[in-house]
Amino acid sequence: MLCFAVWRLAAFRPEGDSLLICGAADLCAAGVLFLACLPLVKLPTVRGRVLSRVTGGIGAAVSAGIFAVMLWEAADSLRYSFPDFYSAPAVIAAAGAGAVYCASMGLRGCARAACAAVVMTLVVLALLMAGAGERFEADRLHLAVRDARGQFGREFLRALVRSGEIPLLVILRGEVKAPGKALAVWLGGRALLSGVVMTFCAGVLGEFSALGIPVDSLSSYSRTSVIERFDALVLLVWVLCTVLGAAGAAAGAIRCGKTALGRTEIAQSDHT
Amino acid sequence: MDKYTVSPQAGENIDGLCKLMGGSADLNTAQAELCGVRCAVASIEGMASAELISELVLRPLAALAPLAEGDGKRLYSLLTEGALLTADRKLPADLREAASLLFSGFAVVFVEGGGAAAFGVQGYDRKAVGEPSSEHNIMGSQEGFCEALRSNISLVRRRMKTPSLRLEMLTAGNKTNTDICLCYLSDRAESSLICDIKRRIRSVGLDAVLASGTLKPFLEEKEGVGLFSEVSATERPDVVCAKINEGRAALLIDGTPFALICPSLFAENFRTVDDACSKPYFVILMRLIRYIAFFFAVMFPGIYVAVANYHPEMLTLKLLLNLTASERSTPYSLFVEMLIITVLLELMKEAAVRMPKAVGSAISIAGGLVIGDAAVKSGIISSPLLIIVGLTATASFVIPGLSQQISALRLVYICAGGTAGFFGIAVVSAMVMTNAAGMNDRGIPYTAPLLPFIRSGAADILSRKIRRRLEQEHTVVSDYRE
């Protein structure tokens, strides 16, 4: 789930003039989803042959949809950031194949690898911020923007629609040891990650932070004595998180598909 | 009556053995009448010591014969119950069992009217216990396993003087009947682990078990799926003792100096015997070096190709200009160059392993100086690329336990980096990470204690425990079970 958060953060395109307002809307949407889904993830798994097959079919369709959206957004963002190299069909095929392979290794393997991917992301973000730290100016964090409410509302609705990890957690609740705890970790992690990165982006990029993909812009501003630009490193961790997130969706689709076809297997994971 | 049942006639038993073994040339037999009782002795040349047979079997047999007063049954009873000839004595139920004991270096005595008794008089040629050839260290033991199973068992027993050390003999191989010794500590290893290993060894359907590696696939949970192996091999008795002290099981296999240990974890590849003898801060430094070496050996050539082809903006201007200048003179693309030189490196490594020692220096000169230097001078390969390949080759020798995986993954990463840059590297990394993290050996995750994070074992990843914690806490591998 934190992979989803990283995936969304790294490809986040604000709609409006202020990145901070968009970021706040994104976090509020996460909070609302948390409150709405907390009772859902505690629901017992569906019993009854017909009902479980029907819910399995719906779950498989939703998971497959999340999988497709993730790959599509990956291709779209890569085409935006690296227009010379990556064609959309090749990206979707390669990332899709990788995600399906990861899913075939089991949800446990995906969850453990996702933990490592999130740690790698944190390291890269720390390097990125260290490299761009000297350009940070608190004056650029101006919140006085026109139509703040409208911007907030639009971004809030967009964030609600794009939170694919929540339905996935509800679908896979039977395989997660403590889904409530996972949801809390997700909310905390997402709030911290988004809050810090978006504030930093706004502080470094100023009014340009609301254009394009802010993390991508920040990565091209950041430099250290060894690495001149961080675009490629951000791409690395972002694709890693995308593939693992998509693998989670694929695993959900496989599991629900099995339920729909009357073949189930239960394995528990306590990872977020 | 079964034709292989031990007959009351000593001569018939010898004939039966000859028939069973097809008149094998190495079967030595002798028959004599001692004080009116016909006796026969059989042994296998080269497996039993002639000196020991004479000292421990023939001479006492001759001394006991007068006491039996011509009664074969009494002589047999004196031989088996009234005297202590050797510590290793068995009573074969039939000729098949007698033959099997003969192959293990026993001498079998048939007493007319009595029965058969086998005495352990092993005396085969064996390589002396020497230094381990592939696992060197500075401050630890310099003894390594040899090919003789009994010697290897004694090497373990000498270091583990506790009654809880269990040494159970098993056999595998329909034709070779290879002896395998399962070692574990009864108060540390889980009984489910031991039962599972025994079941797997018994189910081995191979005709020949001639090397420890032959058994590896039979002990792995998902054979063929995992990139890494949950079963590790070592030729150091001190490593075997350390591992069984952590609740693992070791298999010593006759005819091979490598013991198998299961379950094995990824982080263990980065530990050495010397870690226990060094200061904790130095252990941290060395472990970091080993992790960096693994990263370098696997990913560095792929990253170099990806950066140079797809993401040159990462590099500083001076470095970029230098690389461009050196690459301009070469005829092939960087990706092809890297593939060629990496395949050449693997080729030379393979040659170095297989070639006779006498021509070793010739290969080093031909490979290192002639090919390397000439390739750069003639403009086929650029010098930065050669530096990178040299660096990765050196790094790959730091972790010998993962050499196979390093070689294979390096090529995969070069292809991924060469065809799709960091995107390809990320996709392959996700697959490799999931493959490793998804491995569970009898419920114990291969990537534990890091993934999943287990606090009690996490300190062991980068450092070793300090003296007080070593005394107070004892981590066994089953603590990592999910």
Contacts of A94 in chain B (CB under 8 A): 420, 423-424, 427
Contacts of A102 in chain B (CB under 8 A): 430-431, 434
Contacts of B310 in chain A (CB under 8 A): 82, 85, 232
Q: How many helices (H) and strands (E) does chain B have?
A: 18, 12
Structure confidence at residue B274 (pLDDT): 85
User: Is residue A54 assigned to a domain?
Assistant: yes
- Scan for tokens 């660096």, then name that residue: B391
Nearest-Cα residue of chain B relative to residue A94 = B427
Check if B316 contacts A (Cβ < 8 Å): yes
Enter the tokens of residue B314.
Answer: 């990462």
Residue B13 near residue B40 (C-beta atoms within 8 A):
yes
Check if B437 contacts A (Cβ < 8 Å): yes
Q: How many Å apart are CA B411 and CA B349, to the nearest integer?
A: 15
Structure letter (DSSP) for residue B442: T
Interface mutation target, options B425, B427, B439, B481, chain A, most CBs of A under 10 Å: B427
| A140-144, A212-216, B447-451 — most confident range | B447-451
Q: How many interface pairs between A and B have CB atoms less than 8 angstroms apart?
A: 119
Structure confidence at residue A271 (pLDDT): 44
Query: At residue A183, what are phi and psi to the nearest 5 degrees?
Result: -65, -40
User: Is residue A236 assigned to a domain?
Assistant: yes
**Pairwise CB contact (< 8 Å): B424 & A94:** yes
Lowest mean pLDDT among A27-41, A123-137, B17-31, B295-309: A27-41
Enter the tokens of residue B431.
Answer: 């697959």
Count of beta carbons in the 10 Å neighbourhood of residue B9: 15
Structure confidence at residue A226 (pLDDT): 84
Q: How many Å apart are CA B477 and CA A56, to the nearest integer?
A: 38
Q: Residue B8 above 60 pLDDT?
A: yes
Residue B138 CB-half CA count within 13 A:
5
Residue B276: pLDDT band (50, 70, 90) is confident
User: Is residue A271 assigned to a domain?
Assistant: no
Q: What is the 3-state secondary structure (H, E, C) of A185-212?
A: HHHHHHHHHHHHHHHHHHHHHHHHHHCC
Mean pLDDT of chain A: 80
**Pairwise CB contact (< 8 Å): B423 & A78:** yes
Residue B439 near residue B221 (C-beta atoms within 8 A):
yes
Contacts of A110 in chain B (CB under 8 A): 434, 437-438
Query: At residue B317, what are phi and psi to the nearest 5 degrees?
Result: -60, -45
Lowest mean pLDDT among A179-193, B1-15, B321-335, B460-474: B460-474
- Segment B397-420 shows an average pLDDT of 93
Lowest mean pLDDT among A9-13, B285-289, B309-313, B403-407: A9-13
Check if B224 contacts A (Cβ < 8 Å): no
Q: How many Å apart are CA B43 and CA A7, to the nearest integer?
A: 73
User: Is residue A244 assigned to a domain?
Assistant: yes
B45-65: pLDDT as tens digits: 888 888 899 988 899 989 898
Distance from CA of B267 to the nearest CA of A (A): 14
Check if B420 contacts A (Cβ < 8 Å): yes
**Pairwise CB contact (< 8 Å): A228 & B431:** no
Residues belonging to chain A with any Cβ–Cβ distance to chain B shorter than 8 Å: 78, 82, 85-86, 90-91, 94-95, 98-99, 101-102, 105-106, 108-110, 112-113, 115-117, 220, 225-233, 235-240, 243-244, 247, 270-271
Enter the tokens of residue B41.
Answer: 């002795």
Interface mutation target, options A112, A176, A225, A230, chain B, most CBs of B under 10 Å: A112
Structure confidence at residue A201 (pLDDT): 85
Structure confidence at residue A144 (pLDDT): 58
Q: Residue A82 above 90 pLDDT?
A: no
Residue A17: pLDDT band (50, 70, 90) is low
Structure letter (DSSP) for residue A64: H
Q: Which among B422, B439, B451 has the least Cβ separation from residue A235?
A: B422
Contacts of A231 in chain B (CB under 8 A): 311, 313-314
Structure letter (DSSP) for residue B314: G
Q: How many Å apart are CA B252 and CA B260, to the nearest integer?
A: 7
Contacts of B133 (CB under 8 A, 6+ apart): B144, B235
Enter the tokens of residue B36.
Answer: 């009116």
- Segment B102-127 shows an average pLDDT of 88
Q: How many Å apart are CA A265 and CA A175, to the nearest integer?
A: 10
Q: What domain range includes position A52?
A: 2-259
- Segment B410-431 shows an average pLDDT of 94
Enter the tokens of residue A175.
Answer: 């395989």
Enter the tokens of residue B417.
Answer: 């980096």
At position A50, the amino acid (one-letter code) is V
Distance from CA of B202 to the nearest CA of A (A): 29
Residue A268: pLDDT band (50, 70, 90) is very low
**Pairwise CB contact (< 8 Å): B311 & A231:** yes
Distance from CA of A248 to the nearest CA of B (A): 11
Residue B128: pLDDT band (50, 70, 90) is confident
ipTM: 0.86
Lowest mean pLDDT among A17-21, A92-96, B336-340, B354-358: A17-21
Between A210 and B411, the more confident residue is B411
A69 in helix, strand or coil? helix
Contacts of B436 in chain A (CB under 8 A): 113
- Scan for tokens 């590099």, then name that residue: B315
**Pairwise CB contact (< 8 Å): B426 & A232:** no
Residue A241 near residue A121 (C-beta atoms within 8 A):
yes
Q: Residue B271 above 60 pLDDT?
A: yes
Structure confidence at residue B325 (pLDDT): 85
Q: How many Å apart are CA B184 and CA B263, to the nearest integer?
A: 12
Q: Residue A272 above 70 pLDDT?
A: no
Q: Which among A105, A230, A237 has the least Cβ separation from residue B438?
A: A105
- Segment A214-226 shows an average pLDDT of 83
B441 in helix, strand or coil? strand
CA A218 to chain centre: 18
At position B225, the amino acid (one-letter code) is V
B42 in helix, strand or coil? strand
Distance from CA of B266 to the nearest CA of A (A): 14
Task: Tally the domains of chain A.
Answer: 1
The b-or-e profile of A51-71 (16+ CB within 10 A means b, else e) is: ebbebbeebbebbbebbeebb
Q: How many Å apart are CA B55 and CA B203, to the nearest integer?
A: 40
**Pairwise CB contact (< 8 Å): B435 & A108:** no
Distance from CA of B341 to the nearest CA of A (A): 25
Mean pLDDT of chain B: 87
Contacts of A63 (CB under 8 A, 6+ apart): A168, A171, A249, A250, A252, A253, A256
Q: Residue B12 above 80 pLDDT?
A: yes
Query: At residue B144, what are phi and psi to the nearest 5 degrees?
Result: -125, 165
pLDDT cut 90: percent of chain B above it: 37
Picking from B300, B286, B288, the residue whose alpha carbon sits closest to that of residue B391 is: B300
**Pairwise CB contact (< 8 Å): A115 & B452:** yes
Picking from B440, B432, B426, the residue whose alpha carbon sits closest to that of residue B406 is: B432
A267 exposed, middle or buried (CB, 10 Å; 0-12, 13-18, 19+)?
A: exposed
Count of beta carbons in the 10 Å neighbourhood of residue A107: 24
Distance from CA of A121 to the nearest CA of B (A): 12
> Pairing relation of β-strands B232-234 and B259-262?
antiparallel
- Segment A93-107 shows an average pLDDT of 91
Count of beta carbons in the 10 Å neighbourhood of residue A170: 17
| A143-157, B409-423, B454-468 — most confident range | B409-423
> Pairing relation of β-strands B106-111 and B37-44?
antiparallel
User: Is residue A265 assigned to a domain?
Assistant: no
- Segment B387-403 shows an average pLDDT of 90
The shares of helix, strand and coil residues in chain B, as percent rounded to the nearest 5, are 55, 15, 35
Structure confidence at residue A265 (pLDDT): 52
